[in-house]
């Protein structure tokens, strides 16, 4: 599971406590120097801000370790086109045509049409396709068919038929459609299913799949496309010689090189299993790999690679291709290891029903890491935290790995703040709490969400995986449940006892203020007026916030304040809000443990989908004064190998791309390993 970066008023770099004053002083001095020497901002367009990030600790790696990072990064980029094709069946043809027109057109580039065309292409690049990376809505060009035809005619670019027309019509309008009362598979443009496959087809197909060991259910559907040929359903498996085979073979080539420079035997064995999985598409090998990867915790370098997160599948079966290559930040990880050390305490003291608690929480590791490269679903829009593997039985039997992407969050911090905070806080006290403790509260919430949240709880015996029982609500329920674990413990003296905070109440209050402010108001700047909430993380933040707001009305726990025509939300009783978060956590775990579809549907549809239109209109109007875009993402540093006359790598240097278009065009030139139609 991952936490995608989101606009919570004040998404800043995270400060670590423990010798707090000294650490904060050192970080502040370092950041002041960095700001003078390194520009984190690349450019802005539409609703997007593109940033850069650095790779701290690179020079401390041995050449062998740098080679490992380089090979893993190249492996990730080799498969990037898979993500484009997974997102939509015409994406690769569209991208090729738009890029050709962009690079070859010699006509007038001072017109508004050209500016709009360039912005559209950048938006498509950022989203890995023609649907918005967050809202899932099709991106609407602000130029005409005639203008695009003019560009195509003036260059060698070609785009015809449905691939051309879909840019301008209403077809395939949503990449992922999670709306209630529609056929989610049929109405989603994502290319995980053939265009004539329905919800019922998917459910019926996987009902017949039985794992050899029911206690270790295989992740059926994770690495395949489900299509219907002559009325018969069949899977097209992602593997060498199968669907996406030409790109997968390139991925394997680089993974083989990485295996040759593995830091230790455990890491090498895990890479070997990943290679076998790519070659065969065998889901048992996938589980074997995840067990080995989870247990391989030693070394300076780690990675995430393959078909993993299922958010883009309306029914939660199929994994999007993604990779993150990471270098351990040992100092930060050591400071935060206390969370994983006390994982059992958090489980034992949670408000869950006794039968839903794990008796033995095993193998939870937590690290702060520095990203060295990303691709697929992790780029350009990146997570800020990741917890894997996703299989519940592996979490229970072996454990999980949780990471916070330290240099990514550091880049957000140095890219500039936001004036939105003062606009939406209720009073001076809330402002001061956010400014003093908001950064730390965000950091701890991410850590608790990933380390404790996703690792907590267990399914009842005989209950199927959540993708089967909770269907299209599985992802938002899981993210909300993990959020609630973090919220429950953010207002607990245990954090101070463990040395993570100096004043647990003030940190907890800042966390609660920020979460409610975001869930009920500020995240709405990402939606067009009249839209429902559809993205899983946005939904969970709204249904958590709206539920506690409603349930606390009798005691005025959260007060809706209107002042000078503006709306604010003020928390009057943090202790009672803490209890409400615990009550909702208990219920969400019950829903997951029992597979209660009716309850999750009522929760999400009742609190997480519909938006208060008056507040939404007000928020959008108040936000107009702040030009900073609501979404951010990154270009990647470029790892450049230097070789001797024999072709051996003697050093690897880091360079930074000057512009977003420069990197995107470079990627298309050097990492296009798939045909337009797959």
Q: Note the pLDDT of residue 296.
A: 95
Q: Which long-range contacts (CB under 8 A, 24 or more apart) does 158-165 make?
A: 158/97, 159/93, 159/94, 159/97, 159/98, 162/90, 163/90, 163/93, 163/94, 163/97
CA atoms within 13 A on the CB side of 52: 22
pLDDT at 113 over 80: yes
Mean pLDDT confidence for 122-151: 97
In a domain, 289, yes or no: yes
| C-alpha R_g of the chain | 24
In a domain, 111, yes or no: no
- Model pTM score: 0.84
CA distances from residue 129 to 125, 137, 141, 216, 233 in whole angstroms, order as listed: 6, 11, 13, 35, 26
- Look at the alpha carbons of 609, 431, 403, 492 in this order and tell me if their dihedral is positive or negative: negative
Q: Note the pLDDT of residue 4.
A: 57
* Three-class secondary structure of residue 642 per DSSP: strand
**Tokens at residue 613, please?**
């239109």
Q: What is the pLDDT confidence band of residue 413, given thresholds at 50, 70 and 90?
A: confident
What's the pLDDT tens digit per position in 28-64?
Answer: 333 333 444 789 999 999 999 999 999 999 999 999 9
The whole domain housing 391 covers 2-80+243-629
d(Cα 40, Cα 107) in Å, to the nearest integer?
Answer: 33
Task: Select from 617, 419, 625 the least CA-distant residue to 527.
Answer: 617
**Tokens at residue 231, please?**
């009325």
Contact 124, 139 (CB under 8 A): yes
Neighbours of 596 (CB within 10 A): 18
Q: What does the DSSP assignment read for 225-271?
A: EEEEETTEEEEEEBSTTSBTHHHHHHHHHHHHHHHHT-SSHHHHHHH
Q: Note the pLDDT of residue 446.
A: 87
Q: Note the pLDDT of residue 12.
A: 31
Q: Note the pLDDT of residue 31.
A: 38
d(Cα 647, Cα 632) in Å, to the nearest integer?
Answer: 38
**Domains in the chain, number:** 1
pLDDT at 27 over 60: no
Q: What is the pLDDT confidence band of residue 416, given thresholds at 50, 70 and 90?
A: low
What's the pLDDT tens digit per position in 235-286?
Answer: 999 999 999 999 999 999 999 999 999 999 999 999 999 999 999 999 999 9
Q: What are the respective helix, strand and coil percentages of the chain, to the nearest 5?
A: 50, 15, 35
Contact 510, 434 (CB under 8 A): yes
Query: What value, to the nearest 5°, has the Cα angle with vertex 514 and ends 510 and 516?
Result: 120
Q: Is the omega angle on the peptide bond into residue 517 within 30 degrees of 0, that is, cis?
A: no
In a domain, 207, yes or no: no
Mean pLDDT confidence for 468-496: 96
What's the pLDDT tens digit per position in 629-675?
Answer: 889 999 999 999 999 999 999 999 999 999 999 999 999 999 999 99
Neighbours of 34 (CB within 10 A): 15
d(Cα 47, Cα 300) in Å, to the nearest integer?
Answer: 36
Q: What is the pLDDT confidence band of residue 418, given thresholds at 50, 70 and 90?
A: low
What's the pLDDT tens digit per position in 353-384?
Answer: 999 999 988 878 888 899 999 999 999 999 98
d(Cα 115, Cα 118) in Å, to the nearest integer?
Answer: 5
Q: Note the pLDDT of residue 276.
A: 98
- Look at the alpha carbons of 661, 665, 667, 672 in this order and tell me if their dihedral is positive or negative: positive
In a domain, 227, yes or no: no
What's the pLDDT tens digit per position in 528-585?
Answer: 899 999 889 999 999 999 999 999 999 999 999 999 999 999 999 999 999 999 999 9
Q: Note the pLDDT of residue 14.
A: 33
DSSP state of 627: -
**Tokens at residue 401, please?**
């790995």
Q: What does the DSSP assignment read for 297-329?
A: --SSEEEEEEE---TTSTTS-PPPEEEEEEEE-
Q: What is the mean pLDDT of the chain?
A: 92
Neighbours of 407 (CB within 10 A): 22
Which residues are within 8 A (CB) of 161 and not within 5 positions of it... i.e. 6 or more apart? none
pLDDT greater at residue 446 or residue 82: 82
Mean pLDDT confidence for 212-240: 96
In a domain, 415, yes or no: yes
What's the pLDDT tens digit per position in 331-357?
Answer: 778 877 899 899 999 999 999 999 999
pLDDT at 7 over 60: no
What's the pLDDT tens digit per position in 144-203?
Answer: 999 999 999 999 999 999 999 999 999 999 999 999 999 999 999 999 999 999 999 999
Q: Which neighbouring-strand residues pair with 512?
A: none
In a domain, 591, yes or no: yes
d(Cα 178, Cα 316) in Å, to the nearest integer?
Answer: 11
| CB neighbour class for 649 (10 Å; exposed up to 12, middle 13-18, buried from 19) | middle
In a domain, 117, yes or no: no
In a domain, 597, yes or no: yes
d(Cα 584, Cα 264) in Å, to the nearest integer?
Answer: 43
Q: Note the pLDDT of residue 29.
A: 34
Q: What does the DSSP assignment read for 189-213?
A: --TTB-TT--HHHHHHHHHT---SS
Task: Select from 569, 510, 509, 518 the least CA-distant residue to 540.
Answer: 518
Q: Which neighbouring-strand residues pair with 43?
A: 50
């Amino acid at each position: 599971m991952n936490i995608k970066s989101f606009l919570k008023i004040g998404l800043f770099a995270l400060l670590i406590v423990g010798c707090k004053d000294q650490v904060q002083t050192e970080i502040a001095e370092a950041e002041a120097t960095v700001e003078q020497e390194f520009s984190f901002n690349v450019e802005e367009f539409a609703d997007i801000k593109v940033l850069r990030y650095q790779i701290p600790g690179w020079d401390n790696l041995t050449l062998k370790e740098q080679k490992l990072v380089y090979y893993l990064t190249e492996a990730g980029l080799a498969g990037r086109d898979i993500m484009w094709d997974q997102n939509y069946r015409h994406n690769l043809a569209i991208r090729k045509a738009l890029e050709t027109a962009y690079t070859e057109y010699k006509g007038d580039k001072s017109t508004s049409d050209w500016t709009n065309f360039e912005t559209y292409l950048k938006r498509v690049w950022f989203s890995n396709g023609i649907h918005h990376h967050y809202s899932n809505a099709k991106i609407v060009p602000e130029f005409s068919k005639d203008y695009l035809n003019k560009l195509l005619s003036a260059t060698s670019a070609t785009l015809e038929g449905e691939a051309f027309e879909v840019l301008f019509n209403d077809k395939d309008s949503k990449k992922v459609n999670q709306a209630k009362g529609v056929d989610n598979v049929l109405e989603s443009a994502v290319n995980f299913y053939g265009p004539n496959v329905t919800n019922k087809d998917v459910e019926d197909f996987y009902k017949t799949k039985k794992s050899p060991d029911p206690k270790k259910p295989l992740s059926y559907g994770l690495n395949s496309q489900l299509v219907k040929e002559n009325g018969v359903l069949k899977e097209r498996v992602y593997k060498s010689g199968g669907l996406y085979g030409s790109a997968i073979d390139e991925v394997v080539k680089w993974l083989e090189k990485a295996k040759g420079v593995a830091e230790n035997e455990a890491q090498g064995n895990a890479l070997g299993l990943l290679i076998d999985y790519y070659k065969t598409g065998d889901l048992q090998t996938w589980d074997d790999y995840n067990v080995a990867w989870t247990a391989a915790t030693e070394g300076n370098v780690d990675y995430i690679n393959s078909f993993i997160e299922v958010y883009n599948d309306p029914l939660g079966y199929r994994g999007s291709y993604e990779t993150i290559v990471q270098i351990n930040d040992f100092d930060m990880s050591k400071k935060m290891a206390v969370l994983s050390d006390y994982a059992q305490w958090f489980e034992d003291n949670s408000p869950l029903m006794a039968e839903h608690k794990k008796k033995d929480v095993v193998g939870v590791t937590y690290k702060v890491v520095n990203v060295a490269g990303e691709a697929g679903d992790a780029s350009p829009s990146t997570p800020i935290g990741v917890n894997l593997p996703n299989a519940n039985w592996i979490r229970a039997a072996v454990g999980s790995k949780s990471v916070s992407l330290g240099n990514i969050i550091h880049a957000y911090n140095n890219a500039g703040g936001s004036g939105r905070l003062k606009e939406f806080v209720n009073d001076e006290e809330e402002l001061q709490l956010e400014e003093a403790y908001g950064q730390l509260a965000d950091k701890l919430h991410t850590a608790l969400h990933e380390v404790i949240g996703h690792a907590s709880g267990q399914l009842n015996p005989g209950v199927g995986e959540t993708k089967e029982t909770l269907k299209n609500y599985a992802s938002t329920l899981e993210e909300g449940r993990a959020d609630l674990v973090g919220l429950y413990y953010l207002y607990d003296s245990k954090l101070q006892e463990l040395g993570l905070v100096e004043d647990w109440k003030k940190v907890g209050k800042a966390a609660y203020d920020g979460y409610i402010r975001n869930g009920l108001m500020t995240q709405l700047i990402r939606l067009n007026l009249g839209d429902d909430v559809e993205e899983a993380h946005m939904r969970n933040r709204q249904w958590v916030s709206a539920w506690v707001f409603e349930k606390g009305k009798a005691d005025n726990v959260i007060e809706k304040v209107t002042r000078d025509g503006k709306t604010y939300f003020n928390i009057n009783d943090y202790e009672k809000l803490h209890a409400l978060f615990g009550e909702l956590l208990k219920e969400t775990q019950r829903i997951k443990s029992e597979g209660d579809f009716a309850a999750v549907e009522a929760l999400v549809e009742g609190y997480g989908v519909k938006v208060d239109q008056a507040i939404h209109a007000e928020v959008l109007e108040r936000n107009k004064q702040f030009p900073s875009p609501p979404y951010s993402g990154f270009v990647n540093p470029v790892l450049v190998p230097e070789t001797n006359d024999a072709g051996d790598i003697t050093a690897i240097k880091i360079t930074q791309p000057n512009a977003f278009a420069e990197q995107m065009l470079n990627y298309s030139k050097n990492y296009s390993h798939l045909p337009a139609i797959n």
